[in-house]
Structure 1
Amino acid sequence: MGAFISLPIASIFAIPMLSSWSTSLNLVFFSITWTTIAMTYAPLQIEFFAPLVVRLLLYILPSAGFLVFDTLIPSLAVELKAQGEVALPGPRGKKKVSRVVAWSCFNVLLAVALQAGIEWLVTDVLKLQSILVIKDSVWSFNHLPNPWSMAKNIAEGLVLRNVLQYYIHLYLLHSPSPTYLTRWHSSWQHAIRAPYSFVANYDHPICFLLHRFLPLYLPACVFRFHIMTYLILLAIFSLEEVFTYSGYNVLPSTIMLRGMARRTDAHMMSVGKGNYGPIGVLDWCHGTTLGADVMDDVRDEMEKHDVQERTGKAMDDMGTRLKGRVRRGKGKK
């Protein structure tokens, strides 16, 4: 695994963020790096180790960093927590926190292993084509997908994952009629009232697979995403879990991360009375929002950045330019 991380996968995500090179150069390096991976490793190796590295770098390590910060500097962490001292993991007992961390990591590894196991069954046992595209690409020389196809699949993955997650969460994990799933979800994840990042994937394994793994993996299978598209979506959702379950009220974006974190907090503190999707759009549509909804976040963001005033000014400037052109055209005649 060390050799797998050393050259390719880490550099794919790190170099575009850390370097000051031009976009074109980053894309060239990205293409060369991914081609090296595709030519060096078997498809099954890529499908196991690539998601594992993404989850390790973008979920497990950042979650561990937040946990260490909350534990070692509680006096500072409490100032950043939306729920104050209640949200600190330390006072809950080391044994309980260790259980959350251990099961969260186990579930993450379970999802990676299950995905690789399904791929092995389909390709090596049943001798069918791979579920995700890995080397059979439109750009065969570098094994990368067509940019338009990638953008379209990312949009499909973002929308379908959030739709599936909302309805699975609402109708299966919080069904009005008690079932094994509702009892497991209640006694596992909802035993934690105020979240911290590891809580995102702390649940009974079956509930976890239904709520976290399936909404991303199922659309990828149906539309046969390229593995790179899947990794990008996995990276986005890993960071989403880290921040929205962090419990912090100081986050980069008002509309996205801050609003999503606030809705997640409300869901956990209410023991699942609402806010079944972090984005909040379907909660708004179905009337299951707790507290401020996503439209309130949009209005706040627009007021914060004076969107209406800037739009009006831009329209006025455009009108002035058009009038000037008309006058100059009449003058030439």
Structure 2
Amino acid sequence: MSLSSLSALLTPISLPLASLFAIPMLSSWSTSLNLVFFSLTWTTIAMTYSPLQLETFGPLFLRSVLYLMPSTLFLLFDLLVPSLAVELKAQGEIALPGRQRGGTRKVRRVVGWAVFNTMLAVAIQGGIEWLVTDVFRMRSLLLIKGSAWSLNHLPNPWSLVKHAVLGLVVRNTLQYYIHLYILHSPSGGVLADWHESWHHSIQVPYSFVAAYDHPACYLLHRFLPIYLPAILFRFHIMTYLLLLAVFSLEELFTYSGFSVLPSTIMLRGMARRTDAHMMSQGKGNYGSIGVLDWTHGTTLGADVMDDVREEMDKHDVQEKAGRAIDGAGDAASGFGAKMRNKTRKGRGKK
């Protein structure tokens, strides 16, 4: 798909969605005003576009802007400025895409199939929504329009938080067990063979590798763990888009191969475990966060608890907590001394 055709495809909804996500980040207004304009923008989108359009173009926009386009920039940086890129790669020169087995021909294959798989997942989601709403005349699988009395069509804040946490937990749990017991198991059959010959034909990852797999394996491992909990618990479309944005950025950075990453809690550890998983041909590190690997003893190298301790040391959490406790103790002692002095003075007056 060319950039011009992709741009034309995104036109109906890309500008409203862009303004929706840009308002809180780019404006200098107060939080309450941001929420008002955010609500008005989403209300306009929800009232203007059909559930089919929202459930197709929303994920298409997010996957394009937060995964495919940045992955392209990272790859161009690796290929065009290898002398600088190698300094930022955690595994050094062997992490450069053009220096790996298959060279640039393999890189083109990886990019082509990664784009295809990403678009396939979006198309399947749109196709399911079309069957449900247009063919069978049922309600949309995701909550989009809200109730008839809802003016802004926004999710309840508690429901958004609850479903976001639920989606995160279910997605990571499904991915871990699918990865371990199907894609890296002798009983996985043809799916395990496809995953090994496709995804694990890459020694050291770069961002496009996150979506490079046989389409059946990609849909099972990447798409279903996100989409299934969303439709089973009928998430609001905003919650689903929020999760999709987070997971897109996670795949972008943890598969990038860079040692310099945004200062997000445990993100560097996730990227380090992804490198170890790929370089060991899938001998461990089957989950993205690492909690289930730590629980089941399938971690390669440093585990998630090491990442937590590293983050705590980096931000001096223990020292700050100690100072806060000491400060609270001093304040309590001072308050107690003042109260005792007042009591003595009161007794003296009597």
TM range (shorter): over 0.9
State TM-score, norm by structure 2: 0.92
SS in 2 for 1:292: coil
2:300 counterpart of 1:290: yes
Deviations 1:214-241 (A, max 9, x none): 1111111111000000000000000000
Q: 2:160 aligns with which of 147, 150, 153?
A: 150
Give 5+ residue unaligned stretches, structure 2.
1-8, 344-350
Deviations 1:131-155 (A, max 9, x none): 1000024971111111111011111
Shift of 1:126: 2.2
2:145 counterpart of 1:141: no
Paired position in structure 2 for 1:48 = 56
Paired position in structure 2 for 1:301 = 311
Q: 2:12 aligns with which of 4, 16, 20?
A: 4
Shift of 1:298: 1.1
How many residues align structurally?
A: 333
Paired position in structure 1 for 2:140 = 130
Paired position in structure 1 for 2:337 = 327
Larger Rg: 2
Label 1:254 to 1:11 Cα distance change in 2 as closer, same or farther (>3 A): closer
> Matched residues in 1 for 2:105 and 2:43: separation?
45
SS in 1 for 2:266: helix
Label 1:253 to 1:6 Cα distance change in 2 as closer, same or farther (>3 A): closer
Contact 2:14 2:61 in 1 (8 A): no
2:69 counterpart of 1:61: yes
2:84 counterpart of 1:76: yes
Contact 1:283 1:289 in 2 (8 A): yes
> Matched residues in 2 for 1:14 and 1:254: separation?
20
Paired position in structure 2 for 1:23 = 31
SS in 2 for 1:177: helix
> Matched residues in 1 for 2:232 and 2:210: separation?
25
Paired position in structure 2 for 1:13 = 21
Shift of 1:2: 4.4
> Matched residues in 1 for 2:296 and 2:303: separation?
11
Q: 2:260 aligns with which of 230, 233, 250?
A: 250
SS in 2 for 1:106: helix
**Which structure 2 residues correspond to residues 187-206 of structure 1 after superposition, within 5 A?**
187-206=197-216
Q: Give the counterpart letter for 2:41 in structure 1.
A: T
Most deviating of 131-140 and 178-187: 131-140
Paired position in structure 1 for 2:4 = none
Q: Give the counterpart letter for 1:130 in structure 2.
A: S
Shift of 1:14: 2.4
Contact 2:10 2:57 in 1 (8 A): no
Contact 1:247 1:261 in 2 (8 A): yes
Most deviating of 217-226 and 125-134: 125-134
Paired position in structure 1 for 2:128 = 118
Shift of 1:130: 1.3
Give 5+ residue unaligned stretches, structure 1.
none
CA RMSD across the alignment: 1.5
> Matched residues in 2 for 1:291 and 1:204: separation?
28
> Matched residues in 2 for 1:125 and 1:172: separation?
34
Shift of 1:300: 1.5
Q: Give the counterpart letter for 1:194 in structure 2.
A: V
> Matched residues in 2 for 1:2 and 1:185: separation?
31
Contact 1:139 1:145 in 2 (8 A): no
Sequence identity percentage: 71
> Matched residues in 2 for 1:35 and 1:284: separation?
43
2:304 counterpart of 1:317: no
Shift of 1:320: 1.4
2:113 counterpart of 1:99: no
